[in-house]
Amino acid sequence: MKKKNIAWGLFFIFLAAVYLVISSTGMELGVGLPGIFMTVLFVWLFVEGIKDVNFYSIVFAIAFICILYRKPLGLEKFGLTSWTILGAALLLSIGLSMIFKDVRRKNWKTKTINWDEKMSTPNGEQCSGEHICCENNFGSAIRYINSEHFCDAQLENNFGSMSVYFDNAIIAGEAASVEVENNFGETNLYIPKEWKVQNELKRSFGAVEEIGRGEGSSVATLYLRGAANFGVIKIYYI
């Protein structure tokens, strides 16, 4: 963490020097000081996207930089509007995420669950086991995790709404992990308030919200990882 802070500190110092040089020489970039700070934000999202192999963060960071510097880059002569660039970025993000899905999940040690073979209830579907994998696309889904030896879960929600309940799960060992990828939708996680939760969720043009407060009285720890891309991940302590 200290090395990361030093790196970003040096980057901002370099940025300040560049801005002073540009201001003193009268060079025109087509953007003012707010635009430069926005550029820093998008560069940061781009770097974080590469590190996490998050194509939404990578592509949209480039798209917003193109919009910001559309005139200096000469994109206006091609008739590319902001909405055209964003629309292309959306389709490109979806395509790359689908093609390189295995690359993004290479460290996720889970097994695929066929939800059609699991127990169904009027309110949703239930699953038991140590390793859980669930994907929801363009719809609404409710999942109940019933496990006495829960180890990890892999959750992906695309353009839909997904709710996952962990109140009937018991963590095996000292820790368990939940990987969440939420793209243009809403993912709701219902977690026992007794669990210790280490929230490591990231956001790329999205939000992560915690509703309620956990007690953290359990011995085991649940690690939440993943990202909210143009959507929201809500954590409910029940």
Give the residue, 148 or 115, on which the prediction is more confident.
Answer: 148
Cα(138)–Cα(160) distance, rounded to whole angstroms? 5
Report whether 221 contacts 197 (CB < 8 A). yes
Using the structure block, give the residue that is written with the tokens 């899905």: 101
Give the C-alpha separation, 212 to 7, whole Å.
35
Q: pLDDT over 90 for what percent of the chain?
A: 32
Residues 6+ apart with CB under 8 A from 85: 63, 66, 67, 70, 75
Mean model confidence pLDDT for the chain = 80
Q: What is the mean pLDDT of residues 155-165?
A: 93
The per-residue pLDDT for 122 is 42
SS (H, E, C) 152-211: EEEEEEECCEEEEEEEEEEECCCEEEEEEEEECCEEEEEECCCCEEEECCEEECCEEEEE
Q: What angle do CA 169, 141, 165 make, to 5 degrees?
A: 20
Q: Residue 21 pLDDT > 60, yes or no?
A: yes
In the structure, what pLDDT confidence band is assigned to residue 164 with cuts at 50, 70 and 90?
very high
* Average pLDDT of the segment spanning 157-162: 93
Q: How confident is the model at residue 106 (pLDDT cuts 50, 70, 90)?
A: low
**Has residue 145 got a pLDDT over 70?**
yes
